[in-house]
Amino acid sequence: MKKSDFNFELPEELIAQFPIENRSDSRLLVLDKKTGEIEDKKFTDIIEYLESGDTLVLNDTKVIPARLFGRREKTGGAVEILLLKNLEGNRWETLVKPGKKAKIGYRIEFGDGILKCEIKDIIEDGKRIVEFEYEGIFNEILDRLGEMPLPPYIHEKLEDKNRYQTIYAKNEGSAAAPTAGLHFTQEILEKIKAKGINIVYLTLHVGLGTFRPVKEENINNHIMHTEHYEISEKAAEIINKTKEKGKNIIAVGTTSVRTLESCVDENNRIIPKADSTDIFIYPGYKFKIVDKIITNFHLPESTLIMLVSAMANRENVLKAYEYAIEEEYRFFSFGDCMFIK
């Protein structure tokens, strides 16, 4: 299967630059994966499509303000650092701009010197290992100095950092938000619970690889980025019981899908664990756990549109996207929502 099989033309004005005022006011496109039938709804209508005994699975990762702007100690030259992954202690895997000058031993300071770092190593894809120096609590300093690492297609500054977090964000570690969850409010979650639907949480820390384009025309040759996930015994037990009863598992976002499909044993049961996954889901994949998906609209030729095409058939998905463009749905991270039933 070719990368170009997942291409579509999107008018730039449909790329949402801001979150809407009220999270749950998003539009909801409902796609029947078997028939291809499309319905126009509001996100608050999602409750109509969930049944008592179903289980809704949410990713409770929390985005860190991972973009730091500093200056080189010796020259005062401007430097931007993007935190990708905490390796151990104060050592982080990062992207540094400008990259060519960022040699081993290069020292950078942020916020008048309350935070400093030194480049310790250069690894694959030009990423740098840096070690930070500071007094106090790193996360508090980061919250003060850092900015949210918004996707490259968002050109406007985000005034409220919390709008790039889900309301249930808990476990810090993501470089990007699990955006399908941005539509949920506490009121909607309470109504879902009141209908007898289970809500469980897992954690997958989203890496910037989620925005990395597929370079190989033959998608079988694409190598996925690796992301850390955790799923608890309690969550696994609820999900397994739901499947035993013949009820549905509804995954909120592609990150939840990838986590659930990564920790399945030979009997199609979820195994509680903390691990990393590089699972690549594209058409032809047979889902073992996930029955339905709540998701945003994704970039052309991305691994994310390939994943939803595996669930709902590529032709159905591309027709739904064509319809969404005609009806001027808002696309990508701050955009509207899609439910594949």
pLDDT in tens, 321-334: 999 999 999 999 99
pLDDT at residue 124 above 90?
no
Tokens coding 34: 């078997």
Q: According to the model, what pLDDT value does residue 208 have?
A: 75
Mean of pLDDT values over 261-287: 96
The confidence score (pLDDT) of residue 217 equals: 94
Residue 145 has pLDDT above 90, yes or no: yes
pLDDT for residue 85: 86
Q: Write down the pLDDT at residue 211.
A: 67
Specify the pairing of strand 227-231 against strand 337-340.
unpaired
AA identity, residue 141: I
Cα R_g (the chain), whole angstroms: 21
For β-strands 337-340 and 27-31, DSSP reports them as: parallel
| Per-residue pLDDT, 303 | 95
Is residue 290 pLDDT above 80, yes or no?
Answer: yes
Q: What is the pLDDT of residues 235-271, one digit of tens each?
A: 999 999 999 999 999 999 999 999 999 999 999 999 9
> pLDDT at residue 178 above 70?
yes
Q: What pLDDT score does 125 carry?
A: 82
Q: What six digits make up the tokens of 6?
A: 């997942």
Amino acid at 307: L
pTM above 0.85, yes or no: yes
Percent of the chain with pLDDT over 90: 87
Q: Indicate the pLDDT class of residue 113, thresholds 50, 70 and 90.
A: very high
Residue 317 half-sphere exposure, CB side, CA atoms within 13 Å?
Answer: 27
Residue 337 CA from chain centroid, whole number: 14
| Mean pLDDT within 199-217 | 87
The per-residue pLDDT for range 210-245, each reduced to its tens digit, is: 667 788 999 999 989 889 999 999 999 999 999 999
- Write the CA distances from 324 to 173, 331, 335, integer angstroms: 32, 9, 11
Reply yes or no on whether the pLDDT at 34 is more than 90. yes
| Cα 177 from Cα 213, distance rounded (Å) | 18
125-129, 179-183, 184-188: range with lowest mean pLDDT: 125-129
pLDDT given at position 7: 96
Q: pLDDT category, 157, cuts 50, 70, 90?
A: confident
**What's the mean pLDDT in 82-104?**
91
211: helix, strand or coil: helix
pLDDT (0 to 100) of residue 151? 87
pLDDT value, residue 42? 98
> What is the predicted pLDDT for the residue at 276?
94
Mean pLDDT of 294-317: 97
How long is the chain? 341
Mean of the per-residue pLDDT values of the chain? 95
Residues above pLDDT 70, as percent of the chain: 99
Buried b (16+ CB within 10 A) or exposed e, 193-202: eeeebbbbbb
Position 82 pLDDT exceeds 90: yes
